[in-house]
Amino acid sequence: MRSVRPGAIRYLGHAGFTVEHAGLRLLIDPWFHPAFLGSWFPFPDNRELLPDVLTGRHDLLYLSHTHEDHFDERVVAELDRDVRVVLPRYRSRSLVRRMTALGFHDQVVLGHRESFEAAPGFTLTMLLDTSHKEDSGLLVDLDGFRFLDLNDCNTPLSELPGDVDLLSAQFSGAMWYPNAYAYPDELQRKKTAEVRSDLFDTLVRKVALTGARAYLPSAGPPVFLDPELARYNDRDATIFPLWEAFADDFAAACPTVRVLEAAPGDDLAAPSGPVEHARTPAYLTAYRERREAEWRADATHAFEPVGPAELDAYFARLQSWNRRFLGDWRKDIRLTADGGSWSVRLGRIAGDIVLEDEPVDPAYTIEVPQRILRAIVDGRVGWEEALLSMRLGLARDPDVFDLTLMSLLRYGDHPAQTMQMVRERESAASGESIERCGVRMQRFCPHAGEDLAHADVTHDEIEAGVLECPRHHWKWRLDTGECVAGGTVPLRVAPAGDEHPARQRVDTRRQPSDIGRQPSDMRRQPGEPCR
């Protein structure tokens, strides 16, 4: 592993760093205060580092995305407005607008794989999730030492840089699925194990494709200090494990990769390792007591309950912003809030959107506290933040992910994202195609845009084969394109000899990256025989 000088990269906890090089100091994703309605806290506690962050000199600030465990607005608002801000170029311009509103006008806004030379020998290259999701990572080159901060960004596997000295990437979950769903215990355990396995598989692929010489477990897990959420601190029964749960399997899968376990405040040239006492009940109790005013704060705000007319207006507005995205889709859902219940009919033949007391057969039921529903309707938080708070309960029948519904809730307040999903759908119908196992198929996953040139194919029970996306592990039959796991969105498939003039054939062999060498030791290279 190429070395970086002591003090060059300091870990702040979660996905936060400071990087010093060529006389400049870069601050990355500093997170210190509770996120998602007071639910998530950094783990271990890193608050003792906050004074240095607020009073220290920073020449550059990089914020990866708007999730509150990366964009801590209380911290950002106290920083010097003269700092140069490096931001991803998102379609919604969400980060640019928020930073401009806070008074940060010296902005370097970069698109996917665009670079900025901060100083000679100090280059920053932006990496985006190129689907409708707005996440980013940053490749930091320090005179040839390459630090890739992917945090929880899923840049397409085919777009990852290679020749990486140090990779920082998520290993723990950062979603509400499956633990927020009302599953029986045995099914909950099964689904949790599947998610953890998928997270590990994705991490190993990222390590292999980037050629990372060292890996830093980061971007999670958080800790939940509110006693009402204490069950999510069970590291064995949730998607929020500690690194030790993966350590042995990672050593077997990536035997040449050095793992750097760091504590907040560590110099990554000589990390101290995990904070062992942070795993004890006494540590959690003391942490909870120190932050009690913070995890109780949201629950103490006075509010007026949301009524049917307001809910009707809210969903009418949300649908009008996303009319093209919704198309002829429709869905009945039920909202329950502190004893009240509303049937909500969304989509093509909605008529009156909120039909209180009218019996329907809801495909989704969402239990949401009234105070959070009030915050959503007033626009103070979105459904994404509310779901991530782990304070909502979910149930669905049938137990199948509805991409349109969840995207409407999560991204509907930013129609630029749902319009990108429309473009992705249209591209799926006539865009690039690849050949795998005698089948011509669309190149990019219809769920989140991953390059399916890196997907695995199995033939366990279906002779024609089942293709599995390497990002979220949706599965499709190769003979019919039917989605058999993950959701309901089909895959465009045809026999390999079936040419279509609207479809563009592409060479799926690995092409040299213009931002780094690509290694060849991944589990299965495109073009190799299907297993």
pLDDT band at 451; cut points 50, 70, 90: confident
pLDDT value, residue 380: 93
Average pLDDT over residues 406-426: 88
**What is the overall mean pLDDT for the chain?**
88
**Distance from the Cα of residue 209 to its chain's centroid:** 19
Confirm or reject CATH 3.30.1050.10 for domain 308-416, answering yes or no: yes
Token pair for 287: 């942490």
* H/E element, 208: helix 185-210
pTM confidence score: 0.89
Contact 89, 110 (CB under 8 A): yes
**Shortest CA distance to 475 belongs to which of 384, 411, 400?**
400
Which one of 3.40.50.300, 3.60.15.10, 3.40.50.2000, 3.40.718.10 gives the CATH number of domain 9-297? 3.60.15.10
pLDDT tens-digit profile of 251-273?
999 999 999 999 999 999 999 99
Contact 59, 74 (CB under 8 A): no
pLDDT tens-digit profile of 191-216?
999 999 999 999 999 999 999 999 99
Specify the higher pLDDT residue, 352 or 445: 445
Q: Cis peptide before 221, with omega less than 30 degrees from 0? A: yes
In the chain, where the domains are located: 9-297, 308-416, 431-531
pLDDT value, residue 462: 63
* H/E element, 96: helix 94-101
Cα–Cα distance for residue pair 381/373, rounded to 1 Å: 9
SS3 274: coil
Percent of the chain with pLDDT over 70: 89
pLDDT tens-digit profile of 336-348?
999 889 988 898 6
Across 67-76, 89-98, 173-182, 358-367, least confident range:
358-367
The answer for residues whose C-beta is within 8 angstroms of residue 436's C-beta and 6 or more apart is 452, 453, 455, 457, 467, 478, 508, 526, 530
pLDDT value, residue 357: 52
Average pLDDT over residues 95-112: 97
Q: How far is CA 120 from CA 21, 22, 123, 141, 442, in A?
A: 10, 7, 8, 10, 42
Range with the largest mean pLDDT of 327-331, 452-456, 460-464? 327-331
- Report residue 369: phi and psi, to 5°: -60, 145
Average pLDDT over residues 413-428: 83
pLDDT value, residue 435: 85
Contact 506, 443 (CB under 8 A): yes
Q: Which fold has domain 431-531?
A: Rieske Iron-sulfur Protein (2.102.10)
Q: Is the pLDDT of residue 530 over 50?
A: no
Cα–Cα distance for residue pair 418/420, rounded to 1 Å: 5
pLDDT band at 529; cut points 50, 70, 90: very low
Specify the higher pLDDT residue, 349 or 457: 457
pLDDT value, residue 281: 94
Average pLDDT over residues 288-315: 93
pLDDT tens-digit profile of 24-56?
999 999 999 999 999 999 999 999 999 999 999
pLDDT tens-digit profile of 368-396?
999 999 999 999 999 999 999 999 999 99
Angle between helix 370-377 and 308-321 (nearest 10): 50
pLDDT value, residue 233: 97
Annotate 32-45 with b (16+ C-beta within 10 A) or e (fewer): bbbbbbbbbbbbbb
pLDDT value, residue 428: 64
**Distance from the Cα of residue 458 to its chain's centroid:** 27
Average pLDDT over residues 115-129: 97
Written in H, E and C, the secondary structure of 482-500 is: CEEECCCCCCCEEECCCCC
pLDDT tens-digit profile of 465-513?
898 998 888 898 988 888 888 888 898 888 886 654 333 333 333 343 4
pLDDT value, residue 318: 94
Longest CA–CA span in the chain (Å) reads 67
Across 108-112, 304-308, 373-377, 467-471, least confident range:
467-471
Angle between helix 185-210 and 244-253 (nearest 10): 40
Parallel/antiparallel/unpaired status of strands 475-477 and 483-485: antiparallel
